[in-house]
């Protein structure tokens, strides 16, 4: 038995305690974690910068603040999201049933995190899984040695480790062992398309579902009525931040023919304003560790809106996109036709709490961070209750006497078609007659 298997076995032996905690108590742990992050925010931002080369201000805004905002949002909304829901179905035989939908934890969820966002993604994904009632095995990036130490300390000091969170460091070998472990019910993977395929293939061998976030091209569509100055400034930032390595960063810009020359000039101007330069000082103002040529941003001309949509939808990825226009109705119509998970109009690359985070095509599948993502990390269970005074043999049970066929046919016409009052009166008499016979047999 390997050390990793032993560690996961120990986590599995205590998982029931976390799974049976009320959402109110789980939320208190996340609140404690959030307060610890606030207390350690300088240390966290500096660790992120040491591991990624990002400017410390970007580390603070894009990872520390983003995590704090998401955790606070979870604390406020999870109690309502996980609340049991009831519904009725108004049809003979179902009217008096009490139907309940509830969300049960899966057990243990694995989170395999990337190097480009070594703090925010593992913390937010782990918190989401924990609040759903799951224990978590976290495999952070082996490239984020400073951030990993901080994360381990935060989980320990918040009381989440060792009973509900297990952090296992290393390369792909530990990740493979985590995926294979029989107690791990689902995997959240963020990374490259090729590594996503490897994870999916291994998970499939063990009949385990996977949530995949594999990045995208972040295409921007700039229409001829857009605020070009704003679009250029935002697109250059989106292209360059996170050292050109954001999963939702803009890599392709489709510009309408009438404004492409002006737009290219504005992009050049905005790119020239960036302060490039490497530094070991985490307090540096250098925006980007190294400089690329601006031709790393692919600018493509289009004539009609249909052409722009076609070109965007032909891209192999579908994580995010942006549309730029002063006519919001026009921009919204285009956004509705784009095949991807997240679209910004006159803005981009902004992680807003409540967004169902995820994509389509080669960007992966599954969603996180929103109410609609709750079924991803829970077992959605339905309980249908027949009350005592209405609990009796149902019309659709044996015996299948001849009257039942005709009654069912007329009921279908009345309930789902265009039934008449005369039909209703006739069929209800037969219905109660058959029901009475069945009940007294």
DSSP string, 310-370: HHHHTSSEESEEEEE-S-HHHHHHHHHH--SSEEEES--S---TT--B--EETT----BSS
Residue 202 has pLDDT above 50, yes or no: yes
- Please give the average per-residue pLDDT across 21-29, as a whole number: 97
Say if residue 281 is preceded by a cis peptide, omega within 30 of 0: no
Q: What is the pLDDT of residues 218-272, one digit of tens each?
A: 999 999 999 999 999 999 999 988 888 899 999 999 999 999 999 999 999 998 8
Q: What is the pLDDT of residue 90?
A: 82
Report helix angle 23-39 to 41-52, nearest 10.
Answer: 70
Q: What is the pLDDT of residues 78-115, one digit of tens each?
A: 999 999 999 998 877 788 899 999 999 999 999 999 99
Better pLDDT: 319 or 286: 319
Domain residue spans in the chain?
Answer: 3-214+367-382, 220-354, 393-439
Percent of the chain's residues with pLDDT above 70: 90
Q: What is the pLDDT of residue 122?
A: 98
Report the DSSP pairing between strands 98-105 and 378-385.
antiparallel
CA distance 289 to 93: 68
Percent of the chain's residues with pLDDT above 90: 74
The CATH T-level fold of domain 3-214+367-382 is Aldehyde Dehydrogenase; Chain A, domain 1 (3.40.605)
Residue 424 has pLDDT above 80, yes or no: no
CATH code at 220-354: 3.40.309.10
- Please give the average per-residue pLDDT across 290-299, as a whole number: 72
CA distance 85 to 81: 10
Q: What is the pLDDT of residues 271-285, one digit of tens each?
A: 888 876 544 444 444
């Amino acid at each position: 038995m390997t050390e990793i298997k032993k560690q996961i076995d120990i986590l599995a032996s205590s998982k029931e305690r976390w799974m049976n905690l009320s959402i109110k108590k789980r939320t208190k742990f996340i609140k404690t974690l959030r307060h610890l992050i606030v207390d350690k925010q300088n240390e966290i931002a500096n660790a992120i910068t040491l591991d990624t080369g990002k400017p410390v201000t970007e580390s603070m805004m894009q990872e520390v603040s983003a995590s704090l905002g998401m955790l606070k949002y979870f604390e406020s909304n999870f109690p309502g999201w996980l609340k049991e829901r009831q519904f009725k179905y108004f049809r003979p035989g179902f009217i008096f049933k009490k139907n309940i939908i509830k969300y049960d934890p899966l057990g243990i969820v694995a989170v395999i995190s990337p190097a480009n966002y070594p703090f925010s993604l593992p913390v937010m994904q782990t918190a989401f899984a924990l609040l759903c009632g799951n224990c978590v095995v976290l495999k952070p990036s082996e490239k984020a040695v400073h951030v990993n130490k901080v994360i381990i300390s935060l989980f320990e000091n918040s009381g989440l480790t060792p009973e509900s969170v297990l952090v296992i460091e290393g390369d792909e070998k530990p990740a493979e062992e985590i995926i294979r472990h029989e107690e791990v019910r689902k995997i959240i993977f963020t990374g490259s398309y090729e590594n996503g395929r490897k994870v999916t293939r291994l998970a499939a061998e063990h009949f385990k579902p996977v949530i995949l976030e594999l990045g995208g091209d972040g295409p921007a569509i700039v229409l001829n009525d857009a605020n070009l100055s704003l679009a250029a400034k935002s697109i250059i930032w989106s292209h360059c931040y996170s050292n050109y390595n954001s999963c939702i960063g803009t890599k392709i810009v489709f510009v309408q023919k009438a404004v492409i020359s002006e737009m290219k000039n504005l992009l050049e101007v905005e790119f020239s304003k960036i302060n490039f330069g490497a530094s070991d000082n985490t307090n540096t103002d250098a925006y980007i560790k190294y400089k690329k040529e601006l031709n790393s941003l692919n600018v493509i001309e289009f004539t009609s809106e249909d052409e722009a949509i076609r070109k965007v939808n032909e891209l192999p990825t579908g994580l995010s996109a942006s549309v730029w226009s002063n006519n919001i109705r026009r921009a919204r119509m285009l956004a509705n036709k784009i095949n991807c998970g997240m679209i910004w109009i006159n803005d981009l690359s902004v992680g807003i709490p409540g967004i169902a985070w995820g994509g389509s095509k080669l960007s992966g599948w599954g969603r996180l961070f929103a109410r609609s993502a709750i079924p991803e990390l829970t077992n959605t269970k339905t309980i249908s209750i027949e009350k005592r005074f209405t609990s009796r043999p149902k019309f659709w049970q044996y015996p299948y006497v001849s009257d039942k066929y005709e009654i069912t046919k007329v009921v279908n016409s009345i309930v789902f078609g265009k039934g008449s009052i005369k039909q209703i009166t006739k069929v209800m008499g037969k219905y109660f007659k058959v029901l009475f016979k069945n009940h007294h047999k």
